[in-house]
Structure 1
Amino acid sequence: MTKTTTCVYHFLVLNWYIFLNCYIPHIGRDEEKLKEFHDGGRSKYLTLLNLLLQAIFFGVACLDDVLKRIIGRKNIKFITSFRDLLFTTLAFPMSAFVFLVFWSLFYYDRSLVYPKGLDDYFPAWVNHAMHTSILPFSLVETILRPHHYPSKKLGLALLSICNIAYIIRILWRYSQTGNWVYPVFASLNSLGIIIFFSVSFILTFGTYLLGEKINHWKWGATVKPWMKKK
């Protein structure tokens, strides 16, 4: 892929995520049945947090593209390093995690994560925009350019901090309102919730390692000098 193709891709995907981040939070805002969706805003739904994360990443990627053309690669090492850290530790693992968990629960019992009544408010294309397209976009990004992965210790530590922060957010909200963010938690006892969170931890670690493997498979010769520093 040429640098121009990569720049265009980043620009188009950034605008797509900006549109979704502006459009989705306003769906059914005045509908009584969707008050729970809007109560607490973006921070309680991992899907919406992920959309915001993807928009931030592709925004940084676009900034990196532009600055490289204006002032050169050597003068923006910080931006490039931040771009890679954001993608490797959060953007790719979270897009893969949301995709895998949502569709696994959806096809097992959609009432656990996306009750059928939501179809009246969220068209199918919105559902796929939130939960399907996120992974292909991240995979294309992996193939378009190499990314410098941090040490596994640092990468998994940052991912763990974000996981713990979101779990705390879920539990805090339940303690304040008595309502779970996702119906799946209401169907589990305390032990089941602990197991669910533990499996989620393992899965996010797996998606991190998957991204690293794909990156090394596609760009092994390119990233090898960096990988020796781990």
Structure 2
Amino acid sequence: MTSTLRRVYHITAFSWYAFTVKTLAAKDGEELPPGIFIYGGPWKYLTFLNLLLQMTFFGLATVNDLQPWKKSESILNRCKDLLFSVFAFPVGMFVVLLFWTIFAYDRELVYPATIDTFFPPWMNHAMHTFVLPVLLGELLVQPHTYPQTKHALAALGVVGLSYLCGIIWVYLSVGIWVYPLLGHFSTSGLMGFFFFNMSVLTLLYLLGDKLNSHVWSKGRPRMTTKAK
């Protein structure tokens, strides 16, 4: 893909996420269903944090596209690749897959029907559907350098554990689970669910690595997209 088309893709994706984040953040303060934005507003939801993550990545990608110097050796380019490979791709895919799996089983466990009054269908899909094709598109527009797997998974583990601690803190502070599903678990069940989610994140990270290598190594024997 030409550099011009890649720039257009990154600018479009960044603008879309910026608009979505602004629209969602504007809901804070409105008369929403009880418990939706209490104690932390939208910041306690992985969906919202993921939108910020995607917006940040595509913002960095856009700035990187506009650099006049050699991009492949710049610190910004390395940060962009690290952000995409370790966080943006696995977390974004995780949000989409987990949300729609639980939604198909019982939407009340993750996205109660009362929310539909306040969040139109397009916003639901902006948060939980469009993330997937945009990420897959990113894999096609340019290659990404992946770090050593053990370092990437360690970083994912730290972030995942931090988010779990945040969820527990909210519950201990106001007695409300961020996601209704969590109220159905015992302590051991909650830990099991956490480790299951981390296993899924690990597989999604490895999937991103494999897809990146498959797309960009074919017909390009001299290109190295794996950090040593």
Structure 1 counterpart of 2:17, one-letter code: Y
- C-alpha distance in structure 2 between counterparts of 1:223 and 1:178, whole Å: 56
- Are 2:57 and 1:60 aligned? no
What CA deviation, in whole Å up to 9, does each residue of 1:96-130 have, x standing for no partner?
A: 00001000000001000000111111111100000
Cα distance, 1:225 vs structure 2: 3.2
Calculate the TM-score normalised by the size of structure 1: 0.93
Distance 1:186 1:6, change over 3 A: same
* 2:105 alignment partner in structure 1: 108
Greater shift after overlay, 184-193 or 8-17? 184-193
The structure in which a higher percent of residues are helix is: 1
- C-alpha distance in structure 1 between counterparts of 2:193 and 2:222, whole Å: 35
Structure 2 counterpart of 1:225, one-letter code: T
What CA deviation, in whole Å up to 9, does each residue of 1:159-178 have, x standing for no partner?
A: 11111110111111111111
* 1:157 alignment partner in structure 2: 154
* 1:177 alignment partner in structure 2: 174
- Does structure 2 retain, via aligned residues, the 8 Å contact 1:7–1:65? yes
Distance 1:176 1:141, change over 3 A: same
- Are 2:207 and 1:210 aligned? yes
- Which SS does the other structure have where 1:31 is aligned? coil
- Are 2:73 and 1:96 aligned? no
- C-alpha distance in structure 1 between counterparts of 2:222 and 2:37, whole Å: 42
Cα distance, 1:224 vs structure 2: 5.3
Structure 2 counterpart of 1:190, one-letter code: T
Structure 2 counterpart of 1:16, one-letter code: W
- C-alpha distance in structure 1 between counterparts of 2:141 and 2:164, whole Å: 33
Cα distance, 1:226 vs structure 2: 4.6
Greater shift after overlay, 55-64 or 25-34? 25-34
Distance 1:199 1:137, change over 3 A: same
- Does structure 2 retain, via aligned residues, the 8 Å contact 1:146–1:222? no
- C-alpha distance in structure 1 between counterparts of 2:90 and 2:186, whole Å: 27
Superposition RMSD on alpha carbons, in Å?
1.7
* 1:120 alignment partner in structure 2: 117
Pick aligned residue for 1:72 from 70, 73, 81: 70
- Are 2:118 and 1:86 aligned? no
- C-alpha distance in structure 2 between counterparts of 1:192 and 1:95, whole Å: 24
Q: Mind listing any 5+ residue stretches in structure 1 that lack a counterpart?
A: none
Cα distance, 1:222 vs structure 2: 6.0
Q: Mind listing any 5+ residue stretches in structure 2 that lack a counterpart?
A: none
**Count of aligned positions:** 226
* 2:40 alignment partner in structure 1: 40
What CA deviation, in whole Å up to 9, does each residue of 1:124-164 have, x standing for no partner?
A: 11000000001111110011110000000111111111111
Distance 1:114 1:43, change over 3 A: same
Cα distance, 1:38 vs structure 2: 4.9
- C-alpha distance in structure 2 between counterparts of 1:135 and 1:149, whole Å: 19
Structure 2 counterpart of 1:176, one-letter code: S
Structure 2 counterpart of 1:215, one-letter code: N
Cα distance, 1:223 vs structure 2: 7.6
- Does structure 2 retain, via aligned residues, the 8 Å contact 1:147–1:223? no
- Does structure 2 retain, via aligned residues, the 8 Å contact 1:146–1:223? no
Distance 1:98 1:188, change over 3 A: same
- C-alpha distance in structure 1 between counterparts of 2:29 and 2:99, whole Å: 23
Structure 1 counterpart of 2:18, one-letter code: I
- C-alpha distance in structure 2 between counterparts of 1:198 and 1:173, whole Å: 20
Structure 1 counterpart of 2:98, one-letter code: V
Structure 1 counterpart of 2:145, one-letter code: H
